[in-house]
Amino acid sequence: MKILVVGNGGREHALLWKLRRDAPGARFYATRPNPGMEALASAVDLAPDDVEGLATWAQGEGITLTVVGPEVPLARGMGDLFRKRGLPLFGPSAAAVRIESSKAYAKQVMERAGVPTAAHRTFTRWPEAEVYLKEKGAPIVVKASGLAAGKGAVVCSTEAEALNAAREMLAEASFGDAGREIVIEEFMTGEEVSVFGITDGRHVSLLLPSQDHKRVGEGDTGPNTGGMGAYAPVPSLDALFLEEIRQQVFLPVLETMEASAAPFRGLLYAGLMRTPDGPKVVEFNARFGDPETQVVLPLMDEPLLELLVAVARGGSLQGAGDPASTGRVALNTVLASGGYPGEYARGHEVHIPDELGVDDPDLLLFHAGTRRDDAGAVVTSGGRVLSVVGLGDDLGQARERSHAAARAIDFEGKAFRADIGWRAFQTSAS
């Protein structure tokens, strides 16, 4: 079996790690792999979003499964082109990816499906948005409708913040094309959770719920990022909650998308808020989340590959059930470049102690924003540099293992949140 992983960040490193464990005899390839992925896959010197180039390469190489990590190649039609050429690919069509690439479209789908979400309005002109914001006041959330690398949602505590955010998106094009249309929605209170669903378009297998930490600062303060850390499972969620989400969120959305001639086959990610009125959808993504993938996959006690192959080949997941977990806990501390999610420097050498993670089943290091310089040293190349994942029998063990490694790794400007999982610890202490 020949498997291509498209992408080269922390999520793709975790996918590659898991798939190699599922199929140790397979041959693996990755697009311009980061230093952590180099030993796990042969390099393909094509950009992850080179849709045409990768389809031609995969056809010539006889690739039997392609797994796409990032959203951009999917939005550009990678799934459509690969399937047109008879190449099995795990990932939805460009039409289905709109549930992520257009927040306005996602809201329309949720309305038709009867899925609970925040009250909202969509705008393409600044004057209308200004009037609406002055009428609604704050707190309120302003979102760029298009793809914005996880940074397009601005939680505004004052009316002035909201007006500034909307003005920058619509009048000043601060998010480019992604912000030409914006969604303004009510501020919801509660606990956010992420649920991944592997789906054939009608049936869905749900993975362990996790909790991401989007804000850059401890205590969930500061601007949104792509994610500063995550943990799984979420102790307050049980099987009944997951079944509720399956019946009230995933299945109605899948049915609505199929009826709209945009069936969704791949990984549907539901970002949820547990509000006093029950769970509501914050957003959908059309691929595995980052940094949640890095904690969810290590806890799977069954192969991921079988589910991906079934969906990629057009098969059914009826009767597949939800994959079993190991019963352990994982916590991911993201090491970021100083200044992220704003401007940050690149090219700082990353020092990882030689003994760190060697023969230690309870510590995983997933590279994200790293590369090799001309001398062969590992240096920073992105805002999120490394995912440091600790595993344990409880959340405390997982956190200590993650923190110890996070402190031991060094590069200039290193920043991380030391409070990943704070809600769970706060609940357990009360």
Instruction: List, for residues 308-329, the tens digit of each pLDDT value.
Output: 999 999 999 999 999 999 999 9
Token duo for residue 398? 């997982």
pLDDT surpasses 60 at 15: yes
Share of the chain above pLDDT 70, in %: 99
pLDDT of residue 150: 67
Asked if residue 257 lies in contact with residue 264, where contact means CB atoms within 8 angstroms, the answer is yes
What does pTM read for this prediction? 0.93
pLDDT surpasses 80 at 355: yes
Looking at per-residue pLDDT, the higher value among 153 and 289 belongs to 289
User: Residue 19 and residue 147: Cα distance in Å, rounded?
Assistant: 27
User: Residue 428 and residue 424: Cα distance in Å, rounded?
Assistant: 6
User: Residue 26 and residue 45: Cα distance in Å, rounded?
Assistant: 20
pLDDT surpasses 60 at 430: no
User: Residue 12 and residue 238: Cα distance in Å, rounded?
Assistant: 28
Structural domains of the chain, ranges and CATH numbers in brackets = 2-91 (3.40.50.20), 125-180 (3.30.1490.20), 191-312 (3.30.470.20), 329-429 (3.90.600.10)
Give CA separation, 364 vs 40, 388, 409, in Å: 14, 6, 13
**Residue 152 — very low, low, confident or very high, per pLDDT cuts 50/70/90?**
confident
Instruction: List, for residues 51-100, the tens digit of each pLDDT value.
Output: 999 999 999 999 999 999 999 999 999 999 999 999 999 999 999 999 99
**Residue 381 — very low, low, confident or very high, per pLDDT cuts 50/70/90?**
very high
Share of the chain above pLDDT 90, in %: 86
pLDDT of residue 359: 81
Instruction: List, for residues 165-176, the tens digit of each pLDDT value.
Output: 999 999 888 888
Instruction: List, for residues 283-293, the tens digit of each pLDDT value.
Output: 999 999 999 99
CB neighbourhood size of 424 (10 A): 21
